[in-house]
Structure 1
Amino acid sequence: MVQLPLRRKPLALLYAGSAVLVGGMGAPALAAGPEPDAAPVPVVVVTGSRIEHDSYDFPAAIDVVDAARIGNAQLRVNASEALAAVPGLVVLNRQNYAQDLQISSRGFGARSAFGVRGVRLIADGIPASMPDGQGQAATFNLDMAERIEVLRGPFSALYGNHSGGVVQLFTRDGQGRPTVETTVSGGSDGTRKIDINSQGEVGKVGYVIDVSRFDTDGYRDHSAARRDQGFAKLSMRPGADSRLTITASSLDQDDTQDPLGVTWATFRRDPRAGEIDTTDTQLPNRTLAERYNTRKSIDHQQGGAAFEQRFGEDRLRVMAYVGKRQVIQYQAFSRGFQAPPTHSGGVVDFDRDFYGLEVQWIAVHQFAGGKLSTTAGIEYGRSVDDRQGYENFVGTQFGLRGALRRNEKDTLSNLDPYLQTEWAGGPWVLTAGLRRSSLKVDVEDRFLANGNDSGSSDYSRITPVLGALYKVSDQLNVYASAARGFETPTLNELFYSNSGGGFNFNLAPARSKHLELGAKAQLGEDTRINAALFQARTEDEMVVDTAGGGRTSYRNASSTLRRGAEVSLESSLGAGFSARAAVTLLRATYETGFGSVSAGKRLPGVPRANAFAELAWTEPGGRLGAAIETLASGKIYAEDTNLETAAPGYAVVNARIQARQSVDRWRFKQFLRVNNIFDRNYVGSVIVGDTNRRYYEAAPGRQWMAGVSAEYTF
């Protein structure tokens, strides 16, 4: 979505009475959130520039999803609910809470088998991505979100390795009189959620506390899940020019079922069905997911603190975080008892400890008739996995932890210094930046029955960024930017080599060159349009080499080319009506062939086009609102040759209505939403490169959800 000013205003007026601090120091705290479906409002962003910035005057494609949009008639469970209207971004709900969402930015990250790679995730300034670039959007707390900033294009490179895009979430600050709120919601397929939160100020300390439980029976067979989340935040001001923010969060998912992908024939027969295990002689109609009881348990805790001290316009910021993640996952193999000694087994079990630190200095000076802002910083991150692998059967029964097949210690660390400067004077805004991204991978193999796979790899690269924006008039800004990007193999992509051996330490990082041209325009006082043309050329793109028996190995392939355009519009139509739309066109292809893949083939997982449109109405007092939404996507190929059946394109229509009331100290809200009104059958996401051709993950048919909340102010 686009959320931009209706008319040009001084920056000081954009958030009068609120404090917007450098990425992670806190989100703007407003006395009352914006009314749902209101006309476009002014926005200040910090992603990209690392300082408060009017997004209209920043030379990059950046969009903001505010609190009203995040919570508009939604369960606030998946980031896909809130990010559907952001151009250039594809967020696919796999209907599989064991594997998380698929998020790609201009095609980067589309081939992730689970979790998020290729796109940097940040929450309150704290990385939600590990040093190797793998992240989990499930750790985002959407109930307490104040806004989400989405940065695409060249400026993403300033965030280092795996920054094809940046998705940064900011939670609200506690302020004012204490409040307590309870929300109860539910819907199709046994979906239900309860959320309880409290916020306020005690003395000079603001606090936010939130706990929630989400349950679903799942749309697909064998896809039930339970997710418990907790979040706490303290905001305080030790001095007049200083600020300290402390956050803590948790995510617990116990035995989340994994429905797996299915073949095209199975999807056509029944979108909800799982793939039948044809090797099962005991129960011939039992699915793979049922036979192996595929599931995943996650226990994730993370805490962080950020301190900022201002010295006039200059400032020092220090951030530190620490966390622990435990995962046990049962996968489905059909090789069973005949597995060779080198077989890693079908049970993944690891304990991860991670921590990091960032120090940043921002200096602001007057220079050459303009304002010069310079940011210098250094970021360090480290994760250590105590990882085991086991057979997923005992005796003749599958789905149980069996013999040990893997035992190792995996250590990842990154150390990234960066420098960024911006000069703004007259009609010009000029920006330049450098970051040296580095990643060290060290493996200590403790299972020596199949040889010693210990080893290490080091990756490093300098990623420069240049950008310029010219203010043609108060109604039109144009800009251009360029950068070099860097994408190392994730730990999971290094696990196997194509020979069937251990770690593939010879896998090289992908290198990319990015270009962008854009315009930001106002048509009158009520309409705003953003448009961008972009190109990204990548060398040594990583693709699936072999996959089978629970192992997937990767190789460096040919060069790739991504070219596309984004257009987004937001307009207030009068009489309480507003409209917004976002369209992305993207041609992502292999520029040179490799193996059986010829030049010109489309990159899997990347639609050629996707779009969002909405017509909304809000009663003048904000007490009642309604909207119709349309989401559309082009077809998506699931593998490199483009010979297998592509997931067909689709268009679905959703509708929502919400209401709110106030009685004395009470505030009440209700919503009703119906997704996929016309009950279309379509593939919601694909598993790229699956050797067994189980590529397809069905999206739900018609679904409803409803919720009520009550808030009391003391």
Structure 2
Amino acid sequence: MRLLFNTTFVVVVCIFLFSSSVYTQSKTEAKKDTLKYQLEQVTVTATRYTENILEVPYAISILLKEQIQNTKGYGLDEALSSVPGVLAQSRSGNQDIRLVIRGFGARGAGDRSNSGTSRGVRIMLNGIPETEPDGRTSFDNIDLSLADNIEVIRSNSSALWGNASGGVVNVSTVSDFSNPFLQVGGTFGSFGFRKYTLKSGTLLGIGKLSIGVSNITFDGWRERSGSKRTIVDINLVSRLSDLTKLGVFLTGAGNLFHIPGPLTQTQFDADPKQSNTTYKQRDERRYNRLGRAGITLDHDINETHGFSSMVFVNPKYLQRSERGTFRDFTRYHFGGNLIYRNSLKFDNNIENKLVVGADEAYQDGAILFYTLSPTNGRGSTLRDNKREGANTFGAFLQDEIRFGESFSLLVGGRYDNITYYSESFIDPALGLQKKSFEKFTPKAGLTYMFSKTHSVYFNLGGGVEVPAGNETDPAGTFGQDTVYLINPLLEPIESTTLELGTKQVLFISDNSLIKSLSYDLALYYIMIKNDIIPYRGGRFYFTAGKTNRMGAEAGFNLQFDGGLSLQGSLTLSSNKYEDYKVDSVHYGVPGSFADYKDNKVAGIPDMLYYASLNYAPEFLKGVFVGFSLNGMGSYFVDDANKIEVPSYNILNAVLGVRNFIDLTENLSLSGFVSVNNLTDKKYVASAFINPDIVGGVPVYLEPGLPRNITVSVSLGIR
């Protein structure tokens, strides 16, 4: 805690003192800087309209294509681990990750921690939601090899995006190209990793059509941890006129992955490759098949008025062996939005930008629960047949007033209504039941521009997150589960965030040792009430807790003369329960309470860090060598703070080509060789939160990959 407060003080001093000094310099050298340097405009579509990243009063990180290529591209953790404030942990080396932004998404409860999905953070693909109405997200459709860029909003974004928007991650697979191209690639690695990709693009009159295909097979390094995934991604972007832009996005995926399960400390020490005995016996796995079609339309009526709209449909067929049952899910997820925007200039010094919109998404479908067959397939006995549905509607308004080139004020708010539906066809006497959650979420932000390349900002805003679908089961203590299908006592999680930060791009000199420096610093304080508390291993939940989170984040990119670059990020945080009592009546001990006040929040390390050093000399024409180090501090996995995961750091190395090298007029070559976990360190990559206790021993550790090598080669044809 003392380290965090000291760091916070230093960051605040740096923000204001350094900002003031640069402001003075920028005033005296403004003309020189303007003439000599042209700052490339970086836009952020995830804020629901295009704007310079330095002008937005949020903590935002943008990962460009060169930052996410030269990886296996299987899981988002390979890219997001470099972003301050983001905890991205791979469970088994595939797409199944645990994703947390500033503590949002951290909660879980043993087997019900939901392998294959995250919560609390909104994920989008090409601006279309991957997150379901109840706030859960699977990563079946996302492959980094097909991505062009990733936008990460680390600030709470519920005032714009509604439920489960503690952070926003938008992955774009839309490439900007001017000539037709074809790229085919193969990637091969340790533990039977094989990946084949195809990417192509062509010009169609007023539009651009691009196709991406990825096929992965991974034997897995742990027992029964193999996986297979195929993704097809088709994008058509057409400029129908100077004022109208149309986008058509088609995605299909098939994803099968086995879950080796958590280990005890003794099992981890003896043999981390082994799988959990129970998971092995049941062959715990997920087999997801899904498709998605989305259409976006953006039209400017004139310089003042414009609108955008989006519609999508996302059918899913999911099968899984889970907790001793075989389950068939048939789901239909569809929705869209409509947004109106208005831009006015009152005079040369005052400009106003208004955005009003609405989002709608609905998901419904049947779930069939069967016994497991002797071969762990679908059994012959139907144990349950029920319907689970959810609808989310949100209406929002945001207004930004800009005074001259230096100061802007942003205010807004959003109303959300989330409704759950549940119906049992096995026990029709319960009937169709539903529960609705309502919340209005405000937001306000200030930005001051010291120059075109430097800003300081402050924001104050709310957040809302309803319990996820699998957290709504009623308690069985007093027979509520015989009357209700949805827990009637649950309330939405509410949060309030205060944030102060600064962003800057400094161009030093083409002739000096240091050519440029870009950085962002942020401080945040989050107050949460109605936090979700798991009972009896997550069999049911109540909303009764209060939590405080505070943190300091720093990210930087330093470019040296001669092709040397240094990138890094650091996150320090303190996350504690302010009010948290467990009523022991639900454990057969009426009149007793377990009080976890002042305990650390489970699943959130106090420290995250990342650093990478790359050398790409100009005379080697795109060839580079790089080293990276990422790690985290220790953290508790249980609310009682009795079970701890140790800290670790992992060293990686890569040798590759940033861009395609021409072999002939029509043929080019690219590729890389990487070694991850260079020192072959034994570590815990992830852990079950609030794990099950079996025979007095917690079962919670998910081992990380040992040293592994990846070789990739791609050919470009034009």
Query: What TM-score does the superposition give when structure 2 sets the normalisation length?
Result: 0.87
**Aligned runs of 1:496-645 on 2, under 5 Å?**
496-499=474-477, 501=481, 502-525=485-508, 526-547=516-537, 552-595=539-582, 596-620=594-618, 622-644=621-643
Aligned to 1:482, what secondary structure does the other structure show? strand
* Partner Cα separation in structure 1 for residue 188 and residue 165 of structure 2: 35
Match of 2:298 in 1: 308
* 229, 244, 247: which one aligns with 2:246: 244
* Partner Cα separation in structure 1 for residue 164 and residue 387 of structure 2: 23
Decide which moves more: 485-494 or 621-630: 621-630
Assess if the C-alpha contact under 8 Å between 1:153 and 1:515 holds in 2: no
* 426, 429, 439: which one aligns with 1:447: 426
* 80, 84, 88: which one aligns with 1:83: 80
For residues 398 and 234 of structure 1, do their structure 2 counterparts lie closer, same or farther at Cα, with a shift above 3 Å needed? closer
Match of 2:266 in 1: 265
1:47 CA drift (Å): 4.1
Aligned to 1:139, what secondary structure does the other structure show? coil
* Partner Cα separation in structure 2 for residue 130 and residue 668 of structure 1: 40
1:158 CA drift (Å): 1.7
1:475 CA drift (Å): 5.8
Match of 2:458 in 1: 480
For residues 243 and 142 of structure 1, do their structure 2 counterparts lie closer, same or farther at Cα, with a shift above 3 Å needed? same
* Partner Cα separation in structure 2 for residue 43 and residue 294 of structure 1: 47
1:543 CA drift (Å): 2.5
**Aligned runs of 1:62-461 on 2, under 5 Å?**
62-71=60-69, 73-95=70-92, 97=94, 100-112=96-108, 113-114=113-114, 115-173=117-175, 175-254=177-256, 256-275=257-276, 287-313=277-303, 314-333=305-324, 346-367=325-346, 369-393=349-373, 398=376, 400-426=378-404, 427-448=406-427, 452=430, 454-461=432-439
Match of 1:31 in 2: none
* Partner Cα separation in structure 2 for residue 495 and residue 387 of structure 1: 15
Match of 1:680 in 2: 681
What letter corresponds to residue 310 of structure 1 in structure 2?
D
Assess if the C-alpha contact under 8 Å between 2:97 and 2:118 holds in 1: yes
Assess if the C-alpha contact under 8 Å between 2:631 and 2:650 holds in 1: yes
Deviations 1:659-701 (A, max 9, x none): 2421211120010010111111111011111223221111111
Match of 2:469 in 1: 491
For residues 400 and 409 of structure 1, do their structure 2 counterparts lie closer, same or farther at Cα, with a shift above 3 Å needed? closer
* Partner Cα separation in structure 1 for residue 497 and residue 704 of structure 2: 33
What letter corresponds to residue 403 of structure 2 in structure 1?
G
What letter corresponds to residue 298 of structure 1 in structure 2?
N
What letter corresponds to residue 548 of structure 2 in structure 1?
L
* Partner Cα separation in structure 2 for residue 484 and residue 641 of structure 1: 28
Deviations 1:419-447 (A, max 9, x none): 11111223101111111111011112111
Assess if the C-alpha contact under 8 Å between 1:154 and 1:515 holds in 2: no
1:557 CA drift (Å): 3.1
* Partner Cα separation in structure 1 for residue 335 and residue 452 of structure 2: 42
Percent identical across equivalent pairs?
Answer: 25
* Partner Cα separation in structure 2 for residue 637 and residue 146 of structure 1: 36
* Partner Cα separation in structure 1 for residue 266 and residue 692 of structure 2: 16
* Partner Cα separation in structure 2 for residue 474 and residue 212 of structure 1: 40
* Partner Cα separation in structure 2 for residue 156 and residue 703 of structure 1: 39
Assess if the C-alpha contact under 8 Å between 1:154 and 1:516 holds in 2: no
Assess if the C-alpha contact under 8 Å between 1:96 and 1:258 holds in 2: no
For residues 332 and 703 of structure 1, do their structure 2 counterparts lie closer, same or farther at Cα, with a shift above 3 Å needed? same
* Partner Cα separation in structure 2 for residue 267 and residue 163 of structure 1: 35
What letter corresponds to residue 680 of structure 2 in structure 1?
D
- The total of aligned residue pairs comes to 648
Deviations 1:99-143 (A, max 9, x none): 821111101001252311100111111111011111123322433
Aligned to 1:694, what secondary structure does the other structure show? strand
Aligned to 1:233, what secondary structure does the other structure show? strand
For residues 615 and 40 of structure 1, do their structure 2 counterparts lie closer, same or farther at Cα, with a shift above 3 Å needed? farther
Assess if the C-alpha contact under 8 Å between 1:175 and 1:207 holds in 2: no
Which runs of 5 or more residues in structure 2 are unaligned? 1-24, 509-515, 583-593
Aligned to 1:678, what secondary structure does the other structure show? coil
What letter corresponds to residue 696 of structure 1 in structure 2?
L
* Partner Cα separation in structure 2 for residue 137 and residue 161 of structure 1: 18
Aligned to 1:489, what secondary structure does the other structure show? coil
* Partner Cα separation in structure 2 for residue 489 and residue 556 of structure 1: 9
Decide which moves more: 617-626 or 348-357: 617-626
Assess if the C-alpha contact under 8 Å between 2:140 and 2:255 holds in 1: no
Deviations 1:217-249 (A, max 9, x none): 112111001001111011112223111110010
1:386 CA drift (Å): 0.9
Decide which moves more: 99-108 or 375-384: 99-108
Assess if the C-alpha contact under 8 Å between 1:105 and 1:164 holds in 2: yes
For residues 602 and 389 of structure 1, do their structure 2 counterparts lie closer, same or farther at Cα, with a shift above 3 Å needed? same
* Partner Cα separation in structure 1 for residue 648 and residue 699 of structure 2: 20
1:567 CA drift (Å): 0.7
For residues 479 and 311 of structure 1, do their structure 2 counterparts lie closer, same or farther at Cα, with a shift above 3 Å needed? same
1:187 CA drift (Å): 0.5
* Partner Cα separation in structure 1 for residue 708 and residue 82 of structure 2: 20
Aligned to 1:161, what secondary structure does the other structure show? coil
What letter corresponds to residue 651 of structure 1 in structure 2?
N
Assess if the C-alpha contact under 8 Å between 2:553 and 2:572 holds in 1: yes
Assess if the C-alpha contact under 8 Å between 1:476 and 1:521 holds in 2: yes
Question: Cα RMSD between the aligned structures?
Answer: 2.3
Which runs of 5 or more residues in structure 1 are unaligned? 1-6, 15-38, 276-286, 334-345
For residues 77 and 349 of structure 1, do their structure 2 counterparts lie closer, same or farther at Cα, with a shift above 3 Å needed? same
